[in-house]
Amino acid sequence: MTLDRRISVAPMMDWTDRHDRYFLRLISKHAVLYTEMVTTGAVVHGDRERLLGFHASEHPVAVQLGGSDPGQLAESARIAEDLGYDEVNLNVGCPSDRVQSGRFGACLMAEPELVADCVTAMRKVVGVPVTVKTRIGIDDRDSYEELHDFVRIVRDAGCEVFIIHARKAWLKGLSPKQNREIPPLSYETVYRLKQDFPELEIHLNGGVKSLDEAERHLQHVDGVMIGREAYHNPFVMAEVDQRFYGSPAEPLTRHQIIERLTPYIEAHLATGAPLSHISRHILGLFHGQPHGKQWRRYISENAHKKGAGLEVVARALQFVGG
């Protein structure tokens, strides 16, 4: 399957789990969805069903791996392909201290040859695309020349798809949360990469809040990855299929999305799992709508209670006219 990555939803720790991806797939049938970052150690030694299990409806879906050992990454990539993932993505962008201590994430930008070795090792054992998500620089190593060299070296290892978070990462002195706002975004840097590497798929990530913005970026790059906006305001994805993939189908309404999510919630509750595993992902569905705050507040205050079930969602819908 050839992945059409014009629009994708970013891998986001603690957010883009299997329940969130199932929910987002109800909103867009075509956007590529990414898992949270999963470390190679967790893939090789952990509970794979819990960490990597996904619903068949999630396709196209990509797994994001965190690691820097080519052998472990190769084994993890093979496992992911065997489980049915459509793409394996290497995290070269996360700035957290925990990730740095494991020698992966954004700090790998300083070691492009190692990243190239990792890509080579993974490509040898899988048939699905191996892609890299990275930043435009780290700390004081933020010249365009260094970014260009990084992409060139990793390209020569066979990577054909780069997702570029258009903000450099400060690895010292800033928290991951601060790194989402500081320093400023530089979309022009990503555009320039596409000009210099026309043969590659270059995708832009960072700060995109609307489909109008995505359309403007697509005049310069091959794809746009939407992050926090797709989580806090998931209905932003409602017109993706029509605007970017030519789908003739009308977008589902917010109420229709909940209606189609209901059997999934029922099946989840039937296993004895709590409602909050799923409900936390739908809090933003009525973002910006009349009584949307009441929807959010009611679910937030009640979904975590022992024995909470679909009645919580049904009651919340009454605030928004359901």
pLDDT at 322 over 70: no
Mean pLDDT, rounded, of the chain: 94
**What integer pLDDT is reported at residue 104 of this predicted model?**
80
Q: What is the CA radius of gyration of the chain?
A: 20
Q: Are residues 157 and 240 in the same domain?
A: yes
Mean pLDDT value of segment 46-56: 93
Other beta carbons within 10 Å of 89:
25
Tell me: do 74 and 130 sit in the same domain. yes
- What positions carry a catalytic annotation? 94
Residues spanned by the domain of 287? 254-319
The pLDDT, as a whole number, for residue 171 is 82
pLDDT tens by residue, 192-223: 999 999 999 999 999 999 999 999 999 999 99
User: Per 3-state DSSP, what percentage of the chain is helix, strand, and coil (rounded to 5)?
Assistant: 50, 15, 35
Domain closes at, from 216, 245, 274 = 245
Q: Can you give the CATH number for the domain in which 240 is found?
A: 3.20.20.70
Tokens 């066979």: give the residue.
158
Q: Give the strand pairing for 201-205 and 223-226.
A: parallel
> Based on the domain organization, do 237 and 149 belong to the same domain?
yes
Is 269's pLDDT higher than 70?
yes
With a pLDDT cut of 70, the percent of the chain lying above it is 94
Residues 127, 53 share a domain = yes
Q: Is the same domain home to 58 and 187?
A: yes
Three-state DSSP at 94 gives coil
Under 8 Å between Cβ of 31 and 240: yes
Q: How far is Cα of residue 167 from the mean position of the Cα atoms in its chain?
A: 16
| Structure confidence by residue, pLDDT tens digits, 33-43 | 999 999 999 99
**Cis peptide preceding 176, ω within 30 of 0:** no
